[in-house]
Amino acid sequence: MADFHRLNSNQLRINEALPWDVYDVVGQLLLRKGYVIQKDEQIERLLERGMFVDAEVFKAYEAAGSAPARQAYDPLSVWQGVQAGTGALMTTPPKDGSFAGSLQGYARLVMDLCERSPDLAIAAILLKEYKRYPVAHGLHVAVLCELVARRSDFDDATRLSLCCAALTANMAILELQQLLSHQKTPLTPQQRLHINTHPEDGSRLLMSLGVADQEWLRAVLEHHENEEGSGYPHQIKAPSVLANLIHTCDVYAAMLSQRAYRKPMLAAEAAKRVYLDMGHGKDNPFPGLLIKEVGMYPPGTLVKLANGEVGVVSKRGVQANTPLVSTLINAKGLQQMEPVRRDTAAGPQFAVVTVLPPTMLNVNFEQIWRLRS
């Protein structure tokens, strides 16, 4: 669609009339000029389909200074927009050479989100629901990779390549991943083959869509390889640094996600497993850096304190084991109208004594993070 402009979440506004006719990926009219979108969920569904406007109309609209006024930064809307937008982009990739630039735009949004609202981004991995696991998982991995890369002082260009690779690492098996997230039976031989070849298939697909960034392509190709030579598809022992980081964050994020055949692992347990399996006594520094970055009790973790209060970790602390907690249930077991912020480093009475499963408490995500991050 060379004569059309793909819309993103930042170009749509709730309760404001659309200033253009909007089309889907095949050029069919979706919404007429003047239509008013009323909910975030509508934007998410529409972005999943792909939303386009006539490029000349859009250019004239911007040139006239009619673009929507910049609103206050809303990290949760950014999260939802990236998830919907990357899903649409990878499901129906454009054939006009714009794929790489569009994906890089979403990657920059992830990078900005991690700089401005890192605690919200980590909490969203643990608590926000998703309809399509493969797309959500790619965003989870991209966030974790970006946070570790910042801690490791990767330069901007390298982090952009990394984030793009994390978002698209499983692009070749999106449909299979969605199926497997609900499948309780063992993999079939055909499914196993598809999994084993998806890094190569994904790299080839990205090249066909115009991706020329060699770091991006190599990271996708090697993101299941390891220094022991037991990875796939080529059993190489020297995967790229970016591939190694993606592999580490991929394994950690997968442990935190629910499957049809198992419950999600608690974050502290997942961190321990990743460190022992992938970092301890090996040449991979990233499991240790990941734990230092997200903490033993990442934002979004439900915990019980020594004083009997129950709440959710809302912000990382100075040490990996001393987060800030927003308590929601007091020591008498009564629900609180407003969260009470506790610093677990302030005294033994506020120490974390138990990690609770996410189903134990209904957390109002917006109340805890939207206005605080």
Q: What is the pLDDT of residues 273-293, one digit of tens each?
A: 998 888 766 678 999 999 999
Q: Where are the domains of the chain?
A: 4-63, 76-97+117-294, 302-370
Q: State residue 65's pLDDT score.
A: 64
pLDDT number for residue 131: 80
What is the rounded CA–CA span in Å between residue 36 and residue 221? Answer: 43
- Average per-residue pLDDT for the chain: 88
299-323 pLDDT, tens digit each? 999 999 999 999 999 999 989 899 9
Q: How far out from the chain centre does Cα 219 lie?
A: 17
Give the pLDDT mean for 268-273.
89
Given a cut of 50, whether residue 2 has pLDDT beyond it is no
Q: Where are the alpha helices (DSSP H) in 6-132?
A: 40-49, 55-63, 75-91, 99-116, 118-127
pLDDT of residue 67 exceeding 60, the answer is: no
CA separation for the pair 183, 185 (Å, rounded): 6
- Band the pLDDT of 5: cuts 50, 70, 90: confident
- Domain 76-97+117-294 belongs to what architecture? Orthogonal Bundle (1.10)
Sheet containing strand 352-356, strands side by side = 335-343, 324-329, 310-315, 302-305, 352-356
